[in-house]
């Protein structure tokens, strides 16, 4: 299974020796959050595609503030994550984290261009307006308006790529903070929560299992190795694991509508004809976990059964048989820590006293897994994410800016 935060990376560190980068006119960069959001929405930063335009914009913006900047390029060099630091490099800072990528606009009919911000009826429309360029705009606007020279602790902005498809972009950021940055007090992942503090979310994991057997005529099954039958053994094990999870208590289960881990098979395909022993079968399984280690339990159960029982059965008649298990993504859960500095900090300024849990996954679990106190907190509703005519409520947007400003004031 992949290890969160592992992987080679080569961050480029830029620490300007003067407050404003030469050649960058700070007066040319707006501090208005809606204008910044309009600029960000205008970048078609689809997951898996180049994001250099939006990353370069953020870097230029940060340079104008005299920030220290780290770039974390993807393996193929087409995408970049950024870590921007304002203020002294000392412990106790705050990380505002979000992703720059968005999902495609789709083929459905939008009222207007999805990559041009439109304001109407108290709403700000555009792809990424709520998920989650709205939060990025607030973070940049805040960074541009605070008296940076007076900061006694740092403000970090962590902007990633490919959150929507793999969360790969956040991993090198987390690894760098863990190894090279004085430990922050709190990480705030700004996914849309309607400005309610989210202290827990489920992990999300996805594996593809491919079984390779041997074809034969159905009247002579002993001459082949049935990949569908072998895969069925593994699918039944997935179902057994799911039933066991239903009966096992887990901490923080009261926070969730489904109070236990889930694991399901959603896609299966194989075979060529009814009278042919199937030479190949594959299935896709997904898990939603509540605690670290549950993903390992699932993986080991399936892989051990495949290695010790199912594969030997296939190889009895087809020595070249194989079973391949490939992880597509592995996002750790965010586990509730009621006493964490992040939850206590954000709860001080949130208008809601209740801490929530959500069943969808975010990048927050990666930060927590690295020992960083983390919550999810941002403006807007997740129900608007990935939708036609995606929008963020303007009142929520402005209130989010106000609350973030209060939180950042604790750094002075």
Q: Are 81 and 159 in contact (CB under 8 A)?
A: yes
- Among the listed residues 101, 164, 168, 390, the single catalytic one is 101
pLDDT for 283 beyond 90: yes
Q: Are 220 and 260 in contact (CB under 8 A)?
A: no
- Single out the residue of 322, 317, 263, 315 nearest to residue 289, CA to CA: 263
Concerning whether 163 is annotated as a catalytic residue, the answer is yes
Q: DSSP readout, 95-158? A: EEEEE--B----SSPPSS-TTS-EEETTEEESTTTTTTHHHHHHHHHHHHHS-GGG-SS-EEEE
Q: Band of the pLDDT at 188, cuts 50, 70, 90?
A: very high
- Among the listed residues 163, 194, 389, 390, the single catalytic one is 163
Phi, psi of 184 (to 5 degrees): -70, 155
pLDDT in tens, 225-267: 999 999 999 999 999 999 999 988 776 667 788 888 999 999 9
pTM for this entry = 0.86
Tokens 């700000």 appear where?
A: 124
Concerning whether 101 is annotated as a catalytic residue, the answer is yes
- Single out the residue of 159, 96, 155 nearest to residue 374, CA to CA: 96
The Cβ of residue 337 has, within 10 Å, a number of other Cβ atoms equal to 17
β pairing state of 198-201 and 356-358:
parallel
Domain boundaries, the chain: 12-201+334-411, 203-331
Q: What does the pLDDT read at residue 359?
A: 84
Q: Are 45 and 102 in contact (CB under 8 A)?
A: yes
CA distance 390 to 219: 56
Q: Band of the pLDDT at 338, cuts 50, 70, 90?
A: confident
Please give the average per-residue pLDDT across 74-87, as a whole number.
Answer: 98
Q: What does the pLDDT read at residue 262?
A: 93
Q: Band of the pLDDT at 355, cuts 50, 70, 90?
A: very high
219 vs 354, more confident: 219
Using CA atoms, how far residue 208 sits from 110, 302, 322, in Å, is 34, 11, 14
Q: Band of the pLDDT at 117, cuts 50, 70, 90?
A: very high
> What's the CATH code, domain 203-331?
3.30.70.360
> What's the CATH code, domain 12-201+334-411?
3.40.630.10
pLDDT in tens, 21-79: 444 444 445 789 999 999 999 999 999 999 999 999 999 999 999 999 999 999 999 99
């Amino acid at each position: 299974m992949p290890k969160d935060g592992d992987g080679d990376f080569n961050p480029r560190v830029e620490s300007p020796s003067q407050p404003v980068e030469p050649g960058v006119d700070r007066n040319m960069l707006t501090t208005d959050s809606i204008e910044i959001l309009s600029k960000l929405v205008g970048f078609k930063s689809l997951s898996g595609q180049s994001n250099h335009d939006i990353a370069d914009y953020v870097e230029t913006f940060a340079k104008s503030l005299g920030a220290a900047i780290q770039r974390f390029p993807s393996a193929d060099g087409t995408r970049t994550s950024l870590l921007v630091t304002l203020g002294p490099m000392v412990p106790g800072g705050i990380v505002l984290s979000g992703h720059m990528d968005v999902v495609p606009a789709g083929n459905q009919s939008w009222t207007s261009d999805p990559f041009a911000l439109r304001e109407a009826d108290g709403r700000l429309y555009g792809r990424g307006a709520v998920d989650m360029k709205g939060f990025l705009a607030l973070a940049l606007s805040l960074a541009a308006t605070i008296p940076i020279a007076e900061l006694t602790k740092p403000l970090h902005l962590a902007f990633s790529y490919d959150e929507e498809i793999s969360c790969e972009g956040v991993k090198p950021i987390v690894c760098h903070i863990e190894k090279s940055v004085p430990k922050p007090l709190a990480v705030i992942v700004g996914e849309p929560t309607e400005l309610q503090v989210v202290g827990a979310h489920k992990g999300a994991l996805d594996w593809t299992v491919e079984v390779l057997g041997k074809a034969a005529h159905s009247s002579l099954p002993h001459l082949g190795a049935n990949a569908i039958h072998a895969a069925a053994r593994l699918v039944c094990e997935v179902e057994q694991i799911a039933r066991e999870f239903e009966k096992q208590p887990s901490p923080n289960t009261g926070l969730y509508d489904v109070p236990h881990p889930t694991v399901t098979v959603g896609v299966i395909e194989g075979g060529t004809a009814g009278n042919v022993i199937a030479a190949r079968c594959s299935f896709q399984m997904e898990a939603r976990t509540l605690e670290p280690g549950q993903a390992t339990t699932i993986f080991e159960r399936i892989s051990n059964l495949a290695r010790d029982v199912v594969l030997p059965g296939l190889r009895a008649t087809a020595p070249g048989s194989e079973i391949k298990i490939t992880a597509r993504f592995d996002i750790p859960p965010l586990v509730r820590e009621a006493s964490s500095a992040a939850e206590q900090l954000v709860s001080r300024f949130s208008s809601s006293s209740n801490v929530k849990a959500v069943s969808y996954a975010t990048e927050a679990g990666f930060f927590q897994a690295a020992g960083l106190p983390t919550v999810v907190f941002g403006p807007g509703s997740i129900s608007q994410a990935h939708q036609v005519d995606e929008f963020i409520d303007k009142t929520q947007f402005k209130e989010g800016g106000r609350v973030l400003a209060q939180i950042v004031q604790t750094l002075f």
